[in-house]
């Protein structure tokens, strides 16, 4: 059965709340899912999942170092992650604080791995963003991402 990994870094809990909302949306779709703090996972684990969603707070307009480290370590498995489904999300302090560039830089890495990323035609096009504590709108965006990744994983890995 297809499985999805939601991996995130969170110091003050905002990104973690988003991860949990994404996790429960995926579970609701009947897809097996695990969410893990980046400290509790490794790039090798990417091999065990058909879907990989990565979340980071926005730090100086880019992803937090532990997420970048995980991605850079995934080079060991380059070529073995091709065709898996990807997604990204971000928590930032301010509107215009760089959240979209964080999401796009995570998605760039996933695309370089050869992963499949579905865009969102309505709302948060690249992935959900929260400003501070995720509000209802941000949590809805997380649900949308969870749902779309779960459905794509079901289609591609029946
Ligand atoms: C080192 C550092 C750099 C940050 N840089 C930015 C930034 O460039 N833009 C922004 O909007 N917020 C910035 N923030 C705020 C965080 O992105 C924001 O508080 C986020 O919600 C934290 O997520 P967390 O609760 O999951 O740790 C920064 C915070 C820290 C600690």
Ligand 1 atom with minimal separation from the 99 CA: 11
pLDDT digit string (tens) for 21-34?
A: 999 999 999 999 99
What is the pLDDT averaged over residues 148-158? 97
Ligand 1 atom with minimal separation from the 97 CA: 11
What is the pLDDT averaged over residues 90-105? 98
Is any ligand 1 atom within 6 A of the Cβ of residue 133?
A: no
If you average pLDDT over every residue of the chain, what do you get?
A: 98
**Percentage of the chain modeled with pLDDT above 90:** 99
pLDDT digit string (tens) for 59-69?
A: 999 999 999 99
How far does residue 65's CA lie from ligand 1's centre (Å)?
12
What is the pLDDT averaged over residues 34-47? 98
Is any ligand 1 atom within 6 A of the Cβ of residue 10?
A: yes
Say how far apart CA 128 and CA 88 lie, in whole Å: 8
pLDDT digit string (tens) for 74-84?
A: 999 999 999 99
Q: pLDDT at residue 73 above 90?
A: yes
Task: Give the pLDDT confidence score for residue 156 in this predicted structure.
Answer: 97
**Percentage of the chain modeled with pLDDT above 70:** 100
The SS3 call for residue 78 is: coil
Residues 6+ apart with CB under 8 A from 64: 9, 56, 57
Is any ligand 1 atom within 6 A of the Cβ of residue 77?
A: no
* In CATH, 3-156 is 3.40.50.360: yes
Q: Which residues pair with 129 in a beta bridge?
A: 90
Task: Give the pLDDT confidence score for residue 1 in this predicted structure.
Answer: 83
The SS3 call for residue 158 is: coil
Question: What are the residue ranges spanned by the domains of the chain?
Answer: 3-156
Q: Which of 18, 37, 39, 57 to mutate to test the pocket of ligand 1 (most atoms within 8 A of CB)?
A: 57
Pair of tokens at residue 92: 């930032």
Kindly list the distances between the CA atom of residue 107 and the CA atoms of 25, 56, 104, 118, 119, in Å, as whole numbers in the listed order.
20, 12, 5, 10, 11
Task: Give the pLDDT confidence score for residue 116 in this predicted structure.
Answer: 98
Task: Give the pLDDT confidence score for residue 113 in this predicted structure.
Answer: 98
Q: Which residues pair with 54 in a beta bridge?
A: 7, 88
């Amino acid at each position: 059965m297809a499985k999805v990994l939601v991996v995130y870094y969170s110091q003050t809990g905002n990104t973690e709340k988003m991860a949990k909302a994404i996790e429960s949306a995926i579970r609701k779709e009947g897809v097996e899912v695990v969410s893990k703090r980046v400290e509790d996972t490794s790039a090798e684990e990417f091999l065990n999942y058909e879907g990989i969603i990565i979340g980071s707070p926005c730090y100086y307009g880019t992803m937090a170092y532990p997420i970048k480290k995980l991605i850079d370590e995934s080079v060991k498995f380059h070529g073995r992650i091709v065709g898996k489904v990807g997604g990204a999300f971000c928590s930032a302090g301010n509107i215009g604080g760089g959240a979209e560039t964080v999401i796009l830089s995570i998605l760039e890495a996933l695309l370089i791995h050869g992963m499949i990323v579905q865009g969102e035609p309505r709302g948060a096009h690249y992935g959900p963003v929260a400003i501070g504590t995720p509000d209802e709108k941000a949590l809805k965006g997380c649900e949308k991402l969870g749902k779309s990744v779960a459905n794509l994983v079901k289609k591609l890995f029946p």
